[in-house]
Chains A and B, each alone.
Chain A
């Protein structure tokens, strides 16, 4: 599963890990991350993320 990086702060969303603190269990692919989810470090939205090459 593809990882995504926050263009603002550099946080990496890793689907293997998810974001359990904010309701996303491990194995949540990027596509299944809700649109209102925000970067847990800096608070920007999904649009400010890009795939990790």
Chain B
């Protein structure tokens, strides 16, 4: 039988030669419910060039796709836009197989690759604004530190107007289609990627978009390292990124909680009713059934975060410590919120949650707490809390 794995042509000269990972459900603690793809790109210029590779186990898939259009040994230049192992894992083995003339990365990328793969073939650094002649075609490099690693850079193929953006503008979404217009239901996955990977670097995202704007840079295509290639919605994904980076919370609240005997849950549901009565879009997420990366996604466009935890042995519930630690690292901005919870003895968790919210920069309302099972008065104060937050979300911020 003929090899079923083929390269996919995306412009005259550029081919997608990546791999589709249908199986992955946990990407370093981020739930990838729809799998992902590791996108590598082959430029069939006079000097054939490969941009990024794939996660190590997918090397054979990438090699098969490359072989469908060219002998892999004909590749003369390899570019590593990002050192993270989902894109560099196959690099050491690939370099041994094809022995290209030159391998390049950003200055930070050179160091990071060396720190990952200790006996890697030599990699040369390219700097901001530098370009390489692929034999008539120019490939230029733009440093994009902290989008999302220090080593991240973009490569731009001027002749075809294709921006190879590594993880930027990407998403985890496995598909047999390669283009945005062939994968219409990408919105949640794009938001999830932004919320979980880029949110802490929102100022840097805004500076980048601003620079694009001021210099009139508008690529015809954006080819990220995960998910669909942007050819139809290039402008839309950039403006979504701008909106997500600005973090103007909408009239939406996320309630995360855990519960031991159902009492903190009762408070959560009462608060949710109060919010909904005020017209606030409300998402309720029980933390033993919800993934932290989905909480981050729901919180992306929310204006409020309410966190409920029972007290277990004088601590907040472990699932709540997990999600609060995770969210803190993502540095969400301009949220309002509150802590709540039921307890049996002293109720330390409520203050712990409150402190965690404050440390995260959330401006908090008075917590709602009750001993053991909430009575009508306790439920009413949780409902009132929901109403109060709903009203606050409507104030101009």
A contacts, CB < 8 Å to B? 8-9, 41-44
Contacts and interface: CB of A to CB of B under 8 A. Distances in A.
Contacts of A8: 146, 200-201, 204
Interface in B186-206: 200-201, 204
Nearest to B149: A42
Interface centre among A9, A41, A43, A44 (most CB of B within 10 A): A43
B168 to A, nearest CB: 15
Interface centre among A41, A42, A44 (most CB of B within 10 A): A42
Given A8-B146, A44-B204, 10 more contacts: A8-B201, A8-B204, A9-B146, A41-B108, A42-B145, A42-B146, A43-B143, A43-B145, A44-B145, A44-B146
B55 to A, nearest CB: 24
B128 to A, nearest CB: 10
A42 to B, nearest CB: 5
Contacts of B108: 41, 43
Contacts of A41: 108, 150
Contacts of A44: 145-146, 204
A41 B200 CA distance: 16
Interface footprint category on B: under 10
A44 B150 CA distance: 10
Interface of B: 108, 143, 145-146, 150, 200-201, 204
8 contacts: A8-B146, A8-B204, A41-B150, A42-B145, A43-B143, A43-B145, A43-B146, A44-B145
A45 B263 CA distance: 49
A15 B108 CA distance: 23
A20 B150 CA distance: 19
A8 B201 CA distance: 7
A41 B111 CA distance: 11
- A-B pairs with the 5 shortest C-beta distances? A43-B145, A42-B146, A42-B150, A42-B145, A41-B150
A38 to B, nearest CB: 9
A9 B145 CA distance: 10
A8 B148 CA distance: 11
Contacts of B201: 8
- Which residue, B143, B150, B200, B201, has most C-beta atoms of chain A within 10 A? B150
Nearest to A48: B203
A22 to B, nearest CB: 12
Nearest to A38: B145
A43 to B, nearest CB: 4
